[in-house]
Structure formats: C-alpha cells, structure tokens
A and B are shown apart, each in its own frame.
Chain A
Amino acid sequence: MISIDLGQEDLAKYPFLDEAGDYIKARDLSLVDISQPDFNRVIRRARQRVLQAIRSREVSGEMDTPEIEILSFPIALILVKAANLDHLISRYSHAEAIRVEKFLEDEREDLIVEIFRNILKINVILVTSKISFSKHNYKISIIDYLRRATRFHELQWKLINRTVDDGNVYLKSNELIRLIRQEIESKIQDKLKEMVVPQLPQSFIKTIQELSILSPPPPKLTGKVNISPDKYPPCVKAALDLLKKGENLPHYGRFLLTTYLVNIGESVDEIMSLYSRSPDFNERITKYQVEHIAGLKGGRVKYTCPSCRTLITHGFCFKTKECNKIRNPLQFGVKTNLKSNKKRK
C-alpha cells in the first residue's frame, strides 16, 4: 500500500492502483447500476478507452471528471476481457501504459518514488546533488536498471551511455518512466488475465461485438520465409563471405550463420555444405553441431538467432543502412518485406 495520501485525481491517473479498486468498492455499485442512464458517461468513456487503444494505440487522459476516469477503467477491462481476443488484450494494455507514462512524466517526485517502490518493487532514490552536466532526479541500482533497459535497442540505453556511480544509475524522470512502461503494461495485462467476466447487461454485449469487429488481428509472420542469399542481413553475408574465401570463421560467426539459416528453414544438409569449404571442416563434428542448433540433437531445443546487441558484443555486427531498427538479424528480411507489402497496398 502507498504510504502517502492519494486524492481522487491521483486515482484517476493511476486506476490500476489497489487504492482505486478500494475507492470503487466503497461506492458499492453493481454492473446493472452502471448500465443505467445515470452512468452513460462512464460507459462512453470506457468504450472510448478501448477504441483509442485500437485506433491510436494510446489512451488519452481525461481529467475533467476524475470519477468517470476511475470508474471507466474497470469497465473498459471488462469490455476487453469479454471480447476474448488476445491481440486486443495486449494492444489495450500497451495503450493504457502509455497513458500512465504521460501522467508519470509530470508527477510529483514523492508519488513517483512510492509507485515504484510499492507497485514495481524498485528502490528509487531521489537525487539532490548534480553529478553530471545534466540534472538527474533519481537513481536506481545497476541491476534494476539493466533488467529493464536491455529490452531497448537504442545505444543511448546501454549502461555505458548512462551516468553510473557506486552501483547506481542516475536517471531523469522521463527516462525512469520510459524504463517501466513494459511493467505497467504487464500489470494491466495481469489484471485482465486474472479477471473473470461477470454476467453482463445487454447493453455491454452490443458494445463488445462492435469493438471486436473494429479490432482485426495483426498480420501474421509466417515461419518459413524464402529468403534468397542476396537478401540476407549484412552479418550473415559477412559470415558467408569469410567461408567462401576459405578463411576461418570465428565461433560467433558460425553460431550466427547456423542459427540464422536454421531459423529461415534451410536444411541441415544445405547448411553443412557451406561449412565443407572451411579449412578445419570435420564432417562428423559439424553435423553434430548443426543438428544440435537445429534442435535435432542434445537438448532438443532449436536455438534462435543471436540478437544484434549480442553480435555487437562479440564483434560480429556489420550494420548497414538497410538494417534500419531491427533487433535481430532474423527481422532483416521480414520487416523489410512487410514494409514493401504495405507500400504496394
């Protein structure tokens, strides 16, 4: 529980807090009550929340009447849960998380610290003195930082580009908040997953049907993508080039090449034939290793391709403009293909 006093406005901003749940319980309202004309504005706002998530991927903050903002949140959750669409659950959680993020950015420091400590179990400490050229308001432990920041692929989130001292990372408020978007999202997702849909009034069912129609599933990425070698990402091309020249391909290059080809659906034999040119080729060992990576031997786990970040660490990234913002070499063909498909449409 949060140890500072929360007003109605605070609950409206952060309706996922237990305190907001208590507030609603104290009002003792049933779903039938809510479906009465008196609460029309609550239902409208709940529907709007979901629609905003579908259309603009971001729920707005409507603070004119905090009570409506508080009450409409659980109703919106019911609408999403009852629609029973996985993609709507994740889209909605994401959009609500962005809404929360915007409020947190302007939030008073003591409430931010409380929310982080109580809800997210992150020990955030307020910083008073200036440690670098820009002002940081907060610090958190390196491990708390890295557990979250390694999800982002932009270089500015790497620990080396942060102000670090004595086991702590110093952050500005917008950085601290961006760091936990995913967790707010998970909190809302967890609420949705745990939720049991009660008996619904007729008026709800119509709204749910309407929302389901308006929320088509995202395009699916197919498993086997036929990618011709000229469409391979630059790191995979570099690995192939080294092999073709008969030069020794470093361990990480081999791992990348094999996992990449296994994951785009090439056969073990096709992959083996590439290695046959390698100066230290040993058919038995290579076959075992390729089959192991393909999940046919040993742990029976198909290995995925190492991420771009991992490749940078191991000195095997040959980034070009075409890489754009991919995080994994496997996205190289796929993301580009999707984009050009969209353009054609």
Chain B
Amino acid sequence: MDKKTSIFLKKKFKEYYFRHIEAIESPSRIKEREFGYMTFDRIMIRHISFQNSGDMQARILKESPNSVYYSTSFYEEPSLPMHEKGWKGGDFTFDIDADTLSSPCRKDHDKWICRICGMQQVGIKPKKCPSCKGTRIHEINIACGICLDDAKNEAIKLQDILINDFGIQKANIDTFFSGSMGYHLSIANSDFAEANQAVRSDIVDYVSGQAFLPESLGVSRKSSYENMIDRFPSESEKGWRGRIARYLKDQQNREKHMDTQMILTELFQKVGYRKFKLAIEEAAKKSGATIDPAVTTDIHRILRLPGTLHGKTGLLKKRCKNLENFSPLDDAIAFGSDPIKVIVDDSPQFSLMEEQFGPFKSESIELPMMAAIYLLGQDMAKVDE
C-alpha cells in the first residue's frame, strides 16, 4: 500500500471513530485483557492493557489503527510478555471463515497473485503458478452475499449445537460478523472459562463433527444384530445421534417416507461396516459447523474488537442481534456514499448496500466512500493523485 493511501485510510478511520467511539464494545474484565493493534504501516503492537473503556477508546481514537484486537483470555498482568502474563481463563470463542468453505461462488470472486512472476487471475488459488510453477502465491478473498450466507449457516449450526448440546442460553452467545469473511461466536463466563487446550480441542471436534464413530450409532465391525433397527437413532434423539439421523433423513428421497432407523439399517446392510463408517463420517462433517480450530484452542489469541473497523474492508466487526436476519454487506457498512476518485488496479465484482461494483481493471473511477475503502484496504486500488 502506498503512503498516500495509508494516510488517507487512517484519516477516514479517525473520522469514523471520532463520531462512533461509543459504539466500540468494551470486553468484560477489561483490566485483565491484553490489547493489540496493527498500524496502517502493518506494524503489530501487542501487550497493551487498559484500566477502563475510556482509556481504550482514547487510544483507539488517537492511533486510528488498521485493526484493533483484544485477548479472549484474561491475565494477572496482561501487559507483560506472554509467558509472564499469568493466564487466568478465557472466553470460549469460535471463528467461522467463508474462505474455508468451498462455496461455488469463490471461483468468481477470489483472486490470486504469484509473488514470483506477478501473474494474477480471478479464481481459486492454484497450488502452483501455471506460468512460473512457483508456489509463493498470495490470495485475495472477497466475500459475496452467497459465501457469507454459507458462513452464516455454519454459525447457525454452531449456535444450535451450543444451545441444545452444551445447554448454553442463546442470550449468552455473543455473535458477531467479523468485518470481513465470517463470524465470531464468543461465550463469556461459561463453565469452560478455565478449560485447557485439550478440553477446547475436544469441543472443537464435537462441534465440527470430527471422529464420530459408527459404534456411537450402536453398530460395530462385527455386528449382525437382529435388533439393529432398535439401536439406530430416531430424528428426535438428542445430541449427535439425532443430528446424524436428521441429516440422513434430509438426504433421503422425501417420497419414500422411511424412518431414520430403517434408512440406517438398509445402508448398513447394503454397504457393510467400512463404507457405512465413511458415509457416517461424511454425514457428521456436513452436520457439524466448519470452524477454525486454532481460534478456539489457542488460549493466547487476540481477536478483533467488536465495534471496530476491519482494515482490509472498512466494514465493522458488528454484533448480530438476530443472526438469521443479519445482512453483513448492509448492516456492517461503516462508511457513506460520498464520492471519491481512486485508481483501481484489478478488482473482481463485489457488492455493498445492494449496489454492484466492478469488475474494474486499470481504471481511474469515482466510487462511493464505502466501495473505495473496500478496495483501498485490500490493496486493489490507490488514492488518485
């Protein structure tokens, strides 16, 4: 990013924070959290702590950074180096990212650039550059309404598991649009605040449907049960057994009207244990939520602060009061429609506030502020001289 563009973005972020500083959410136990931020020169500052939300807001306003982060954990001394902080516990957090889902729209709007020969193309990043065979390929992900909807569906699946299986009240699950590609779910003050990495890791596998065994459905490699049908779950059963049953029922031809025990029995008898196991593993993965395991298991993580701007998009990390009705490309828009002239290098089509922009290629164009910042932040455009 050129100097002029970064100065421009910083100025715009400062103006925004000046008017909306109160909208930045203060995390609970603020004194015990670590904060960090990234400047527009891409320098990461960490191990900061604040006594209260006023101090936090003042610093954010003063620096107007590219991105602001807070630790999901709380510490004895949050500003000390990591190994001296004294971990006390942490919120339970989940991250869902559209770029980890294989939504079909990605081939239309994702973009990659080979860092070696400079070749660039719209589409999913190849393993090797087709031109120079190099593997240093930079990926630019642009989220569209379709893949953000897919991410939202994952978040809804996750909420469902947390509520029904973990007994967590919906009101206690803080759900946010991340400001770019997906959603963050966070649970404060749960039983799991002091859970170690092994516990968090097992919960990741639970919510994402990893390592589900056919034995949990009541059958094993050697089974030739006469009463197999009684062992299989019905759709109304609790936990993963019911979830698998509902998934398979959904997959079935609806005209057949078979109950799930019958579907499972037929499947087991037809394909045998090994293929049954594969089919069940697939069903579990599809019914689980696709999350980034590292965010949940890494207890030293810092996460974007709710109510702050995402440096790459100019969108807000925004609380979703009603996830089902939340529309990120409308509801998380921070900047208005004042026109600004930018030189766009190469941009796929994207849309904000139901208005479509692009594709653009090497052109100087006047865009509404929100669209200009969206491109400037991702280094796809620069401010016009």
Residues of A participating in the B interface, judged by any CB pair closer than 8 Å = 131-134, 141-143, 146-147, 149-150, 155-156, 158-168, 246-248, 251-252, 279-280, 298-301, 307, 309-310, 312-315
Distance in angstroms from A54 CB to nearest chain B CB is 32
* Residue with the greatest number of chain B CB neighbours at <10 A, chosen from A156, A279, A299, A315: A279
Instruction: Decide if B201 touches A164 in the complex (CB within 8 Å).
Output: no
**A314: which B residues are within 8 A, CB to CB?**
293-294
Instruction: Decide if A133 touches B199 in the complex (CB within 8 Å).
Output: no
A132 to B238, CA, bound (A): 8
A251 to B210, CA, bound (A): 20
Instruction: Decide if A132 touches B202 in the complex (CB within 8 Å).
Output: no
Instruction: Decide if B192 touches A143 in the complex (CB within 8 Å).
Output: yes
Closest 7 CB pairs of A and B: A167-B167, A299-B83, A165-B238, A150-B198, A279-B135, A166-B167, A143-B191
What is the 8 Å Cβ interface bit string for chain B, positions 77-88, against chain A (1 contact, 0 not)?
Answer: 000011100000
Instruction: Decide if A146 touches B199 in the complex (CB within 8 Å).
Output: yes
Instruction: Decide if B191 touches A279 in the complex (CB within 8 Å).
Output: no
**A301: which B residues are within 8 A, CB to CB?**
83
Instruction: Decide if B164 touches A313 in the complex (CB within 8 Å).
Output: no
Known interface pairs A164-B240, A314-B294. Does A142 touch B166 (Cβ–Cβ under 8 Å)? yes
Instruction: Decide if A160 touches B209 in the complex (CB within 8 Å).
Output: yes
**Would you mind naming 25 contact pairs between A and B with Cβ atoms under 8 Å apart?**
A132-B233, A132-B241, A133-B230, A133-B232, A141-B191, A142-B166, A143-B192, A147-B199, A156-B213, A156-B215, A158-B211, A160-B211, A164-B206, A164-B238, A166-B165, A166-B167, A167-B167, A167-B191, A248-B135, A279-B135, A279-B136, A309-B202, A310-B197, A312-B211, A315-B293
Instruction: Decide if B134 touches A313 in the complex (CB within 8 Å).
Output: no
A161 is contacted by which of B215, B230, B237, B293 (Cβ under 8 Å)?
Answer: B215
Instruction: Decide if A159 touches B213 in the complex (CB within 8 Å).
Output: no
> Size range of the interface on B?
35 or more
**A167: which B residues are within 8 A, CB to CB?**
165-168, 191
Q: Which residue of B lies closest to A151 (CB)?
A: B198
Q: Which residue of A lies closest to B168 (CB)?
A: A167
Instruction: Decide if B191 touches A160 in the complex (CB within 8 Å).
Output: no
Query: B216 at the A/B interface (Cβ < 8 Å)?
Result: yes
**B297: which A residues are within 8 A, CB to CB?**
310, 313
A312 to B206, CA, bound (A): 12
Distance in angstroms from B221 CB to nearest chain A CB is 13
Distance in angstroms from A262 CB to nearest chain B CB is 17
A225 to B205, CA, bound (A): 33
Distance in angstroms from A277 CB to nearest chain B CB is 11
A159 is contacted by which of B82, B196, B205, B218 (Cβ under 8 Å)?
Answer: B205
- Supplied contacts A160-B210, A310-B197, 15 more A-B pairs, CB within 8 Å: A132-B237, A133-B231, A133-B232, A133-B233, A142-B191, A150-B196, A150-B198, A158-B202, A163-B238, A164-B239, A166-B164, A167-B165, A279-B135, A300-B83, A309-B202
Query: B303 at the A/B interface (Cβ < 8 Å)?
Result: no
**B197: which A residues are within 8 A, CB to CB?**
310
Query: B127 at the A/B interface (Cβ < 8 Å)?
Result: yes
A246 to B134, CA, bound (A): 9
Known interface pairs A163-B238, A298-B83, A313-B204. Does A280 touch B167 (Cβ–Cβ under 8 Å)? no
Query: B203 at the A/B interface (Cβ < 8 Å)?
Result: yes
A131 to B202, CA, bound (A): 22
**A247: which B residues are within 8 A, CB to CB?**
127, 135
Instruction: Decide if A161 touches B83 in the complex (CB within 8 Å).
Output: no
* Residue with the greatest number of chain A CB neighbours at <10 A, chosen from B135, B230, B233, B297: B135
Q: Which residue of A lies closest to B288 (CB)?
A: A160
Q: Which residue of A lies closest to B198 (CB)?
A: A150
**B199: which A residues are within 8 A, CB to CB?**
143, 146-147, 150
Distance in angstroms from B209 CB to nearest chain A CB is 7
Q: Which residue of A lies closest to B230 (CB)?
A: A133
B293 is contacted by which of A147, A164, A248, A313 (Cβ under 8 Å)?
Answer: A313
Q: Which residue of B lies closest to A144 (CB)?
A: B191
Known interface pairs A310-B197, A313-B205. Does A161 touch B167 (Cβ–Cβ under 8 Å)? no
Query: B284 at the A/B interface (Cβ < 8 Å)?
Result: yes
A133 to B238, CA, bound (A): 11
Instruction: Decide if A159 touches B134 in the complex (CB within 8 Å).
Output: no
Instruction: Decide if B202 touches A146 in the complex (CB within 8 Å).
Output: yes
Distance in angstroms from A75 CB to nearest chain B CB is 38
A149 is contacted by which of B202, B233, B238, B293 (Cβ under 8 Å)?
Answer: B202
Instruction: Decide if A313 touches B191 in the complex (CB within 8 Å).
Output: no
Known interface pairs A159-B202, A165-B164, A313-B297. Does A146 touch B195 (Cβ–Cβ under 8 Å)? yes
**A147: which B residues are within 8 A, CB to CB?**
195, 199
**B232: which A residues are within 8 A, CB to CB?**
133
**A299: which B residues are within 8 A, CB to CB?**
81-83
Instruction: Decide if A155 touches B165 in the complex (CB within 8 Å).
Output: no
Q: Which residue of B lies closest to A149 (CB)?
A: B202
Instruction: Decide if A309 touches B201 in the complex (CB within 8 Å).
Output: yes
Instruction: Decide if A158 touches B205 in the complex (CB within 8 Å).
Output: yes
